[in-house]
A and B are shown apart, each in its own frame.
Chain A
Amino acid sequence: MKCPHCDASLSESAQHCPACGFSSRVSDARHGDHWVRLDRLTDAAHCLRLTDQRRIEARLDDFERRFPQVFFAVYFGVLPQGLSVPEVGFWLLNHAAFGTHEIAKRNEFGIVLVVDPAAGQAGLCVGYAIEALGSRMAGDDVLRSMRPLLAQSDYGRAVTLAIRHLDRKLRSFAQGKPRSPEAAAMHTVSPDFGLRPLRASMMEGPDAPIRAKNSPHYSIP
């Protein structure tokens, strides 16, 4: 495990980085501790073509249908100076409500791909539930397979390739069951934890205030 800010090695239960002192509190102080809404595909850098966006959306739909607990989000953006890609991924997973079709998905099962086309950096940040599957899910090999396509600025194919790799990896850890209402209900979360109440309020209306009274990590911006 490495620090998102300085890339130093961390222990399993470190509350702050021993090298740079980075923690969630420091990150919140820099970037804010408010919750943000984010689509599962955000192209703030405007580097994706429309066909690529549609193709990625279709793949993400298949991916989320196959893995009801897991979601995969992609963020393309030119990051400001001093902000690293892993740091953005860390902050997004802890402070973003991703607009997936399945509103009950918890961010613990989230995988966020952050790409900075200007800096030429790409990072894959995973939640605790994905991280617990083992070191194979760290994402090193996925990023290595994407490297040639990213270097050619073929971002659409790079993202679809990453989705395919992650799909194959996750299926090796998961248990396959026929699609049924019972199986769909298996990933429901307890009402006192996670983002379900937050998203439920989100789905009430596009401009409704984001409230997650039961979430201990929620704070009104």
Chain B
Amino acid sequence: MKLLQLATILFPLGTLTHPHAGLCQDIEAILPLPEWAPSQDGIAPARNGTPFLLGGSLLPQSFPHDDNESGNLSPMTSQPTIATEFQSARPDGDLSLFLPDALLGKAIHIAPPSSPTAAHLIRKLDDDFLTSCRGSPGDAHLIDPDSHVSETQKEDLLRFLQFHARDARIKAFVIVTDRDQTVPNNADLSNVASGALRSHDSCLAIYPLGEPWRARLFVSGSVHRIIPPEYLNGVVKDCAKDAELVSDPMEQLHRFTVRLSIRLFWLEKLISTNTPALTSVNGQEVPSEIVSKRQPALDEALLNHVILTPSSPHQWWSVTLGVALSLAGGGATYAALRYRRRRLISFVWIMPETEIPPRLGGAFSGGGGAWIQYR
């Protein structure tokens, strides 16, 4: 009986460990393995670093190997970029198209230095463009009717120019045009930004995107009467020269705007000090008085409210003085309390002797005092 039970258990085990040959042939017919033609598909050699069991020798040579993706099975050593997460298989759903290259880890494309637009190819700004400029609000310091500047950079520049306008006497307005556009000679620019140029001391820069050397500068009449045109010419050349240090058009515009803001602060200082002789300057020859005022003007214009205020020496002195006064006050109070306590302990108080005629026949008291009914 026991022998029969043992045989019943061992039979299924035997069939599992040694499958029947006929059964294997049926499985091959149902699920055939791929067959590679030896003539066109040789067995690919195992690549360095690829474990054999991971199939390196099973892939045909025509299989699209990508050393950066499928071949390299070791852990990633480089930091993953946002692009790997946002790049999808569908081109229309690729979010990386909306992100800047720097954020995606791509190398910033440096365009080759473009040649200046030929004079006969330069177009005049049309009336619609100028009308849009005139209709822009007074606090829109960056005017870009044709939307040459991307939204984020436009916001950055606008914030910067508004910051400049808040602190500077001469406000800056920048009109961005296409690289081959210029202002007509008879164009009236006094009404740009809803007439803001006439109501305040202002400066208007017409900036052809990508060609900073063709930028033009206009200032209000109050400034123009004081500052010689040669100086203004030097200012715009200095700004253009600073912008030409980079090749990216947007970066050029940014540098041009920052430089213009700095120079307008210098100009404001010169107007306030009423310097009598303003000689012609260019970007390389800066008057010595301007050089001496450069760093304070820079601090005041760009850094004062951002960096210097928290670490202002005046503020530190105030804090130090406050702490010292508090310590002195505390020490004086402590000393006064100590003195009072010492007086109370080590002093005696002597009352004056006064003669009073006896009253009511009392030898020591004549009924002086008071009484109350407290309940």
Contact = CB atoms under 8 A, between A and B. Distances in A.
Are A and B a genuine interacting pair, yes or no? yes
Interface stretch (B37-45, B249-257, B352-360): B352-360
Contacts of B93: none
B222 interface: no
A187 B353 CA distance: 10
Interface in B317-375: 343-344, 346-354, 356-375
Nearest to A90: B367
Interface string A126-150: 1111111100001110011011001
Q: 8 closest pairs, A vs B, by CB?
A: A120-B375, A24-B361, A123-B371, A174-B349, A107-B364, A131-B368, A93-B365, A132-B354
Interface in B175-223: none
Interface residues of B, number: 31
Contacts of A3: 360, 367
A25 B305 CA distance: 90
Contacts of B365: 89-90, 93-94, 107-108, 110, 125-128, 131
B366 A1 contact: yes
A214 interface: no
Interface residues of A, number: 72
Most A CB contacts (10 A, CB to CB) among B346, B351, B362 go to: B351
A38 interface: no
Contact of A4 (B348, B356, B367): B367
A65 B345 CA distance: 9
13 contacts: A1-B359, A12-B357, A14-B360, A15-B360, A65-B348, A67-B351, A69-B350, A109-B351, A120-B374, A126-B365, A126-B368, A143-B372, A175-B349
A178 B371 CA distance: 35
Given A121-B372, A178-B346, A132 B360 contact: no
Given A120-B375, A128-B354, 12 more contacts: A3-B360, A10-B360, A10-B367, A66-B349, A67-B349, A85-B371, A94-B364, A128-B356, A147-B372, A178-B346, A178-B348, A217-B364
Interface in A50-83: 65-70
Contacts of B366: 1, 90, 128, 131
A121 B374 contact: yes
A167 to B, nearest CB: 9
Interface string A74-107: 0000000000111001100110000000000011
B362 A90 contact: yes
Contact of A184 (B348, B353, B354, B372): B348
B367 A125 contact: yes
Interface string A32-64: 000000000000000000000000000000000
Contact of A25 (B346, B358, B361, B375): B361
Contact of B362 (A17, A93, A144): A93
Interface in B144-186: none
Contacts of A122: 371-372, 374
A177 B346 CA distance: 9
B29 to A, nearest CB: 107
Contacts of B372: 121-123, 143-144, 147
A105 B14 CA distance: 124
Contacts of B373: 119-121
Contact of B368 (A84, A128, A217): A128
B347 A176 contact: yes
Contacts of A216: 363
Contact of A173 (B352, B360, B362): B352
Given A3-B367, A122-B374, A124-B369, A175 B350 contact: yes
Contacts of B375: 120, 150-151
A130 B352 CA distance: 9
A160 interface: no
Given A66-B349, A120-B373, A151-B375, A138 B368 contact: yes
Contacts of B349: 66-67, 170-171, 174-177
Given A128-B356, A129-B354, A93 B364 contact: yes
A120 B346 CA distance: 39
A97 to B, nearest CB: 11
Contact of A139 (B343, B350, B358, B369): B369
A208 interface: no
A211 interface: no
Given A12-B357, A12-B359, A132-B356, A108 B348 contact: no
B363 A94 contact: yes
A176 B349 CA distance: 4
Contacts of B374: 120-122, 146-147, 150-151
B351 A217 contact: no
Query: Which has the most chain A C-beta neighbours within 10 Å: B348, B350, B373?
Result: B348
A1 B350 contact: no
Given A15-B361, A150-B375, A2 B348 contact: no
